Chains A and B, each alone.
Chain A
Amino acid sequence: MAEPLDDYIDAVSKALALPVEEAWRPAVRANLEVSLRLARLVDEFALPDETEPAPIFTA
C-alpha cells in the first residue's frame, strides 16, 4: 500500500528534477516525516504579520 507522502515525494521529485530511487524512498520518506513534524511545530506558533524573517542573522 502506498504511504501518504509517496504521491508528494513523486510530484516534488519530478518538479525539481531530483531523482529518488525506490531503494532510497523509505529513508527519504522517514526524513521528510521528521522535517514536516518539526516544521509544523514552528508553523503552529502564531507570529504578528509584521514579523520580519532573519535569513541573514545579525546577532
Chain B
Amino acid sequence: MTSMPEMTAAEIASAVAGRRMSALDATEAALSRIKQHDGILNSFTDVTAERARAKARAIDADIAAGKEVGPLAGVPFAVKNLFDVAGLSTRAGSKINRDLAPAKRDATLIERMEAAGGVLVGALNMGEYAYDFTGENVHDGPSRNPHDTARMTGGSSGGSGSAVGGALVPIALGSDTNGSIRVPSSFCGIFGLKPTYGRLSRARSFPFVASLDHLGPFARSAADLALAYDAMQGPDAEDSACTTRGLEPTLPLIANPVSDLRIAIAGGYFQKNVFPEAVEAVSRVAKALGATKVVDVPEAARARAAAYVITTTEGASLHLDRLRKRPNDFDPAVRDRLIAGAMVPAPMVDRAQKFRRWYRAQLAEIFKTVDVLLAPATPCTAPKLGQVNFNLDGVELPVRANIGIHTQPISFIGLPVVAVPVPLEPLPIGVQIIAAPWREDIALRVAYALEKMGVATAPAPRGF
C-alpha cells in the first residue's frame, strides 16, 4: 500500500471503507506527521487531536457495525482558523479575537465534511483578518513554504497551503476574498478551488468583505478537490449569500474529455507584470490543452482597482469598532490599511460597485464564446519571507501589493476558478482555470485532464 503522506483523500477513504486501514490509523498518521513537521512549517495554530481520535473511532465503529460511511471516511482535514470550531475561539489570525468566547458550533462546511466522514485535525495559521497575500502573521509567526521554508506560503490561507503542500493533511479549507485560496495554491504547489460566489456556505466563519468572501478546498489532486467540494455543496439559510441551487456533483463528470471545450488564454492585463515562470506555466497549460486563442478581458486593471476599493472600505467598516478600541492589538500594517480604508469617500465605493455590474456583463459576453479562460495565479513563484520588493523588467515593485493582481479581477465578479500547480524548477507556480458562473465542473474537469497529462501535479514537499 502507498504510504500515508502520498495517499490521496480518495485512496484513504477507499482503504478505510474497505477495512484495509482504520480511520484511527489514518488520523494517527496525520497527527504524527503534524507533530513531526509542523514545528518547521508552522501551519497549525490548533491541533484537535482528541476530537479527531473520537471522530475516527466513531467511524471505525460504524464500519464494524456494517453501517454506510461517507465518501470522506477517515480522511483527515484541517481548516483556516477563521472557521468556527466548537470549543475554540475563532481567532481569524488576530490577537483581538482570541478574547472571543469559544465557538459553540462548527462552521457549516466542517459539519458537512464530517458528515461525509472527514476527520477534523486542527485549525490553520493565516494572515491577520485575511487582509494579506503573504502568509506572514505577526502574532503566530509565518506559515512556511513546504518547498523552501525560507519562502512565503502566500496568503491569506497560508497555513492551508503549507499543510497540504507539506502533505500533513490531504485536504484543507480556506477562504478567498481576492485570491487567498489561489495564491497559496500557487506558491505551495497544490490544487485549490475558489467556487462561484455564493456556492458554498460561509455560515459560522469570520468574515472579511461580505460581498467578496468565498470559502473553498485545497488538495493534492483535482479529484480530491472535487470530492471535498461535492461534500460541502448545498443551500444554507444561515448564509444569506448562499445559493438555493441544488447539488451539482462534479466528481462523476471529472474524467469527461475536454476536447469539446472552448479554451482561451486571458490576454492584455493578464499577460503584463509577470515573471518568465508565470509565462512558462500558462504556456505549458495552454499547449497541453491546445489553446491558442487569446481573449482580451476588458478593463481588468480597473476591476482590480474596484476590488481593492471595495475590500479596503468593507474591511474597514467590519473592523471600525476594534480600530477605535484596540488599535495597538492589530498587526500595524493591517491596522494602517484599514484606517485608510475607513477614509475613502463613499461615492468612490458606490462607483466601484456599479463598475462591478458593468464588468460582470463584459465577462458574461466572453463566456458566450469560450468555456474556459487561462491566466496566471501569481506573477511569480514564492518570494522570500519578509521580502518587500521584487524587480520586474528593471522596475522595483512592492511584493505585497502585486501578488494578487491576477486573482483580484476574477473573484471580483465571483467566477469559479481552479488553481492548478505547474511543477517548475526550483519552485512550483499556479495557473488559474477560470469558468463561467456555476461551472465548477468544467474547471475541475480541465484540472483533472492537466493532471492526467502530467502538466499539473502537486510536487512532493522537499523543503523540510
Which A residues between 1 and 51 are near B, CB-CB below 8 angstroms? 8-9, 12-13, 16-21, 24, 27-29, 31-32, 34-36, 38-39, 41-43, 45, 47, 51
Q: Are A41 and B339 in contact (CB under 8 A)?
A: no
Q: Are B335 and A59 in contact (CB under 8 A)?
A: no
B358 at the interface (CB under 8 A from A): yes
Q: Which residue of A lies closest to B414 (CB)?
A: A59
Size bracket, chain A contacts: 35 or more
Most buried by A among B198, B335, B357: B357
Selecting from B71-79, B169-177, B305-313, the interface stretch reads: B305-313
Which B residues between 330 and 370 are near A, CB-CB below 8 angstroms? 332-333, 335-337, 339-345, 347-348, 350-358, 360
Q: Are A24 and B335 in contact (CB under 8 A)?
A: yes
Q: Are B332 and A27 in contact (CB under 8 A)?
A: yes
Q: Which residue of B lies closest to A32 (CB)?
A: B340
B124 at the interface (CB under 8 A from A): no
Q: Once bound together, how far apart are the Cα atoms of A31 and B343, in whole Å?
A: 10
Q: Are A28 and B353 in contact (CB under 8 A)?
A: no
Q: Which residue of A lies closest to B345 (CB)?
A: A39
Q: Are A45 and B302 in contact (CB under 8 A)?
A: yes
Q: Are A8 and B357 in contact (CB under 8 A)?
A: no
B5 at the interface (CB under 8 A from A): no
**Which residues of chain B come closer than 8 Å to A34, judged between CB atoms?**
308, 340, 401
Q: Once bound together, how far apart are the Cα atoms of A28 and B415, in whole Å?
A: 32
Q: Once bound together, how far apart are the Cα atoms of A16 and B309, in whole Å?
A: 19
Q: Which residue of B lies closest to A43 (CB)?
A: B351
Binary flags per residue of A47-59, CB closer than 8 Å to B gives 1, else 0: 1000111111111
Of A21, A38, A51, the contact of B354 (CB 8 Å cutoff): A51
**Which residues of chain A come closer than 8 Å to B345, judged between CB atoms?**
39
Q: Are B312 and A59 in contact (CB under 8 A)?
A: no
**How far does the Cβ of A32 sit from chain B's closest Cβ, in whole Å?**
4
Most buried by B among A32, A39, A43: A39
**How far does the Cβ of A1 sit from chain B's closest Cβ, in whole Å?**
21
Q: Are B337 and A42 in contact (CB under 8 A)?
A: no
Selecting from B269-277, B320-328, B453-461, the interface stretch reads: B320-328
B301 at the interface (CB under 8 A from A): yes
Q: Are B306 and A42 in contact (CB under 8 A)?
A: yes
Q: Are A24 and B336 in contact (CB under 8 A)?
A: yes
**How far does the Cβ of B332 sit from chain A's closest Cβ, in whole Å?**
7
Of A35, A53, A54, the contact of B340 (CB 8 Å cutoff): A35
Q: Once bound together, how far apart are the Cα atoms of A58 and B351, in whole Å?
A: 17
Q: Are B351 and A42 in contact (CB under 8 A)?
A: yes
**Which residues of chain A come closer than 8 Å to B312, judged between CB atoms?**
31, 35
Q: Once bound together, how far apart are the Cα atoms of A42 and B299, in whole Å?
A: 10
Q: Once bound together, how far apart are the Cα atoms of A9 and B323, in whole Å?
A: 15
**Which residues of chain A come closer than 8 Å to B347, judged between CB atoms?**
43
Q: Are B339 and A55 in contact (CB under 8 A)?
A: no
Q: Once bound together, how far apart are the Cα atoms of A7 and B348, in whole Å?
A: 19
Q: Are B354 and A18 in contact (CB under 8 A)?
A: no
Q: Once bound together, how far apart are the Cα atoms of A46 and B340, in whole Å?
A: 25
Q: Once bound together, how far apart are the Cα atoms of A59 and B304, in whole Å?
A: 17
Q: Once bound together, how far apart are the Cα atoms of A18 and B322, in whole Å?
A: 10
Of B198, B302, B323, B352, the contact of A18 (CB 8 Å cutoff): B323
Q: Once bound together, how far apart are the Cα atoms of A36 and B345, in whole Å?
A: 9
**Which residues of chain B come closer than 8 Å to A35, judged between CB atoms?**
308-309, 312, 340-341, 343-344
Q: Are A47 and B351 in contact (CB under 8 A)?
A: yes
Given the interface pairs A24-B332, A35-B312, A55-B211, the reply to whether A45 lies near B344 with Cβ below 8 Å is no
Q: Are B324 and A17 in contact (CB under 8 A)?
A: yes
Q: Are B337 and A52 in contact (CB under 8 A)?
A: no
Of A43, A52, A59, the contact of B198 (CB 8 Å cutoff): A59
Given the interface pairs A31-B336, A39-B309, A59-B414, the reply to whether A54 lies near B327 with Cβ below 8 Å is no
Q: Once bound together, how far apart are the Cα atoms of A12 and B341, in whole Å?
A: 11
B437 at the interface (CB under 8 A from A): yes
Q: Are A41 and B301 in contact (CB under 8 A)?
A: yes
Question: Apart from A31-B337, A47-B358, what 18 extra A-B contacts exist at CB < 8 Å?
Answer: A9-B343, A12-B343, A18-B339, A27-B333, A28-B340, A32-B343, A34-B401, A35-B341, A38-B304, A38-B309, A51-B357, A52-B354, A52-B357, A54-B353, A57-B356, A58-B197, A59-B197, A59-B438
Pairs A–B under 8 Å by Cβ, sample size 16 = A18-B320, A18-B342, A24-B336, A24-B339, A31-B336, A34-B401, A38-B305, A41-B301, A42-B351, A53-B354, A53-B356, A54-B356, A55-B211, A57-B356, A59-B413, A59-B415
**Closest 9 pairs (CB-CB, A-B):** A31-B340, A53-B353, A59-B437, A39-B348, A59-B414, A38-B305, A27-B336, A32-B340, A41-B305
A interface vs B, CB < 8 Å? 8-9, 12-13, 16-21, 24, 27-29, 31-32, 34-36, 38-39, 41-43, 45, 47, 51-59
